[in-house]
């Protein structure tokens, strides 16, 4: 599909890039590069059906290749399709276990799920998205990847300022932008582009960066990234930010083949800007991106947590323990939190979250119904097989039927002494099944069936 670039866009980049602009325009007309990454939160995470022969130079879990969204590797959260240049943002952020990290503009979840995969379910990741529809997509992607240490919120950055103060060790601002770097991946986005739209995006990004500064702890790191070429949204915004907050400073980020220094001449000739990086598709095998890392001076202040009540009712423990005794080999009772009729293994019980619009707090374990507890699919996607008393491996025909919403009739009566079993296909857990009288009843969520 031909990308119809406007005359204003071409004129702008010919003025900025000279003869190289035509190479950029040609690259925008080429096919976008597909890539995916593995999920180290899963057991035997490299056991996938996709080729691992083309690894990315800068990621030990990223590979070139295209993913089928209906494959078991995708449905069970073993793989995530992500544009190759976008993967480097998380590598720059360098998440560590037990840190408090905020992804301030997180939907649809590509970068947030990458961050979580590096945290090994330890520490706290807050993934925020201001757009409600996109926040729901974010939450579902976190669920599919079996992530348990994340709070998903649907708020404006300003809402966080009132609640948290200098709380986070690391913050990612993957800012909403004019999207020039994604024109060939999403040709429809060209229709929204204008010189005025670029200015609007740059202004909005400044407000987001203001909030990020107030939420970042001393000694903490802020990674700012966009998927646009625009100097107004990149070098000029970073230069503005550094001048406004002199206790923030840029640090060098490693540049791999095809990556370039950002352009000081596009940002008021601030020489520090060369520490940031750019990716242009005429030089780099991926889409257009800008990325930089900034550190806040000062001594780290350890914020004190103030815990909320877990809201558990009198018989809640009894119902879950009864379920676990029959169906599980062990049960982790840490950080349980009841929200309405649902039980979560909360990522945080800190009352700073009180009053925010929370879509998911940690791992959704299940639902309390009349005198019983029923498990949620999020739980099975996060469980290791050895935690389940019974894992039943489906064959090709059974797998297809189950995805269509059918129950599985077993020819031979198995020796199951439990009602809830884990269902696996090609060695990957993907759903609960409810066993009764030689039949595995279908409990796969209707929204996931095909």
Q: Tell me the domain boundaries of the chain.
A: 388-450
C-alpha distances in angstroms, 271 versus 324, 330, 381, 427?
Answer: 60, 57, 47, 53
* Annotation: binding site for S-adenosyl-L-methionine: 105-111, 129, 174
What's the CA angle centered on 193, arms 190 and 198, to 5 degrees? 145
pLDDT of residue 356: 96
Q: What is the pLDDT of residues 108-156, one digit of tens each?
A: 999 999 999 999 999 999 999 999 999 999 999 999 999 999 999 999 9
Residue 386 contacts residue 44 (beta carbons within 8 Å): no
C-alpha distances in angstroms, 49 versus 38, 78, 307, 399, 430?
Answer: 11, 10, 44, 16, 16
What's the CA angle centered on 167, arms 165 and 168, to 5 degrees? 130
pLDDT of residue 32: 93
Main-chain dihedrals φ then ψ at residue 317, nearest 5 degrees: -60, -40
pLDDT of residue 307: 87
Average pLDDT over residues 301-311: 85
Least confident window among 85-94, 215-224, 293-302, 414-423: 414-423
Instruction: Write down the catalytic residue from 177, 201, 227, 292.
Output: 227
pLDDT of residue 154: 98
Q: 252: pLDDT confidence band, cut at 50, 70 and 90?
A: very high
**Residue 157 above 80 pLDDT?**
yes
Nearest residue to 280 (alpha-carbon basis) of 305, 298, 263: 263
pTM, 2 dp: 0.96
pLDDT of residue 91: 98
Q: What is the pLDDT of residues 384-433, one digit of tens each?
A: 999 999 999 999 999 999 999 999 999 887 778 779 999 999 999 999 99
Q: 437: pLDDT confidence band, cut at 50, 70 and 90?
A: confident
pLDDT of residue 411: 85
pLDDT of residue 196: 98
**Residue 30 above 80 pLDDT?**
yes
Q: How far apart are CA 147 and CA 344, in angstroms?
A: 12
* Annotation: binding site: 105-111, 129, 174
Average pLDDT over residues 31-47: 96
Token representation of residue 185? 């991946």
Residue 276 contacts residue 261 (beta carbons within 8 Å): yes
Q: 8: pLDDT confidence band, cut at 50, 70 and 90?
A: very high
Token representation of residue 289? 């991106």
pLDDT of residue 203: 98
User: Active site includes 177?
Assistant: no
**How many Å from the N-terminal Cα to the C-terminal Cα in the chain?**
29
Nearest residue to 100 (alpha-carbon basis) of 167, 162, 146, 151: 167
Q: What is the pLDDT of residues 67-102, one digit of tens each?
A: 999 999 999 999 999 999 999 999 999 999 999 999
Q: What is the 3-state secondary structure (H, E, C) of 125-151?
A: EEEECCCHHHHHHHHHHHHHCCCCCEE
pLDDT of residue 301: 83
Q: How far apart are CA 287 and CA 300, in angstroms?
A: 36
Q: How far apart are CA 328 and CA 387, in angstroms?
A: 6
Nearest residue to 256 (alpha-carbon basis) of 231, 283, 228, 229: 283
**Exposure pattern of 367-388 as b/e (b: 16+ CB <10 Å)?**
ebeeeebebbbbbbbbbeeebb
- What share of the chain has pLDDT > 70, as a percent? 100
pLDDT of residue 162: 86
Average pLDDT over residues 199-227: 98
- The mean of the pLDDT values for the chain is 96
Token representation of residue 113? 């799920």
Residue 408, Ramachandran bin (φ over 0: left; ψ between -120 and 50: alpha; else beta): beta
* 250: Cα within 13 Å, side-chain hemisphere: 25
Q: Give CA torsion, residues 94, 96, 99, 101, to 10 deg.
A: 40
- What share of the chain has pLDDT > 90, as a percent? 93
pLDDT of residue 302: 84
Write the CATH number of the domain with boundaries 388-450: 3.10.450.720
Position of tokens 């330890």?
122
Q: What is the pLDDT of residues 336-364, one digit of tens each?
A: 999 999 999 999 999 999 999 999 999 99
């Amino acid at each position: 599909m031909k990308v119809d670039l406007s005359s204003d866009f071409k004129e702008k980049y010919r003025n900025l890039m000279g003869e190289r602009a035509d190479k950029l325009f040609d690259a925008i007309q080429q096919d976008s590069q597909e890539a995916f990454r593995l999920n180290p939160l899963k057991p035997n995470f490299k056991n996938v059906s996709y080729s691992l022969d083309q690894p990315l130079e800068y990621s030990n879990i990223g590979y070139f290749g295209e993913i089928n969204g209906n494959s078991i590797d995708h449905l069970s959260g073993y793989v995530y399709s992500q544009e190759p240049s976008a993967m480097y943002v998380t590598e720059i952020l360098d998440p560590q276990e037990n840190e408090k990290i905020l992804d301030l503009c997180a939907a649809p979840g590509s970068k947030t799920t990458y961050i979580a995969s590096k945290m090994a379910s330890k520490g706290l990741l807050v993934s925020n998205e201001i757009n409600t529809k996109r926040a729901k997509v974010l939450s579902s992607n976190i669920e599919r990847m079996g992530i348990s240490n994340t709070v998903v919120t649907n708020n404006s950055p300003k809402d966080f300022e009132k609640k948290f103060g200098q709380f986070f060790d690391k913050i990612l601002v993957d800012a909403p932008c004019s999207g020039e770097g994604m024109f060939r991946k999403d040709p429809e986005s060209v229709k929204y582009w204008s010189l005025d739209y670029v200015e609007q995006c740059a202004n909005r990004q400044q407000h987001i960066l203001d909030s990020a500064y107030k939420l970042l702890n001393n000694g903490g790191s802020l990674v700012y990234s966009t998927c646009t070429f625009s100097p107004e949204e990149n070098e000029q915004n970073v230069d503005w930010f550094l001048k406004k907050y002199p206790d923030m400073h840029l640090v060098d980020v490693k540049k791999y083949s095809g990556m370039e220094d950002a352009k000081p001449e596009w940002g008021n000739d601030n020489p520090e800007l060369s520490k940031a990086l750019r990716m242009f598709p005429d030089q780099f095998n991926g889409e257009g991106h800008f990325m930089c890392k900034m550190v806040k001076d000062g001594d780290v202040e350890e914020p004190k947590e103030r815990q909320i009540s877990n809201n558990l009712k009198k018989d809640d423990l009894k119902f879950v323990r009864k379920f676990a005794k029959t169906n599980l080999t062990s049960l982790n009772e840490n950080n349980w939190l009841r929200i309405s009729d649902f039980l979560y293994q909360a990522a945080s019980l800190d009352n700073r979250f009180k009053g925010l619009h929370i879509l998911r707090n940690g791992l959704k374990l299940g639902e309390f119904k009349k005198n019983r507890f029923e498990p949620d699919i999020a739980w099975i996607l996060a469980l290791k097989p050895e935690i389940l008393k019974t894992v039943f491996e489906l064959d090709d025909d059974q797998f297809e039927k189950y995805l269509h919403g059918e129950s599985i009739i077993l020819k031979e009566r198995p020796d199951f002494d439990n009602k809830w079993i884990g269902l696996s296909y090609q060695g990957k857990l993907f759903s609960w099944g409810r066993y009764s009288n030689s039949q595995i009843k279908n409990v796969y969520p209707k929204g996931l069936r095909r």
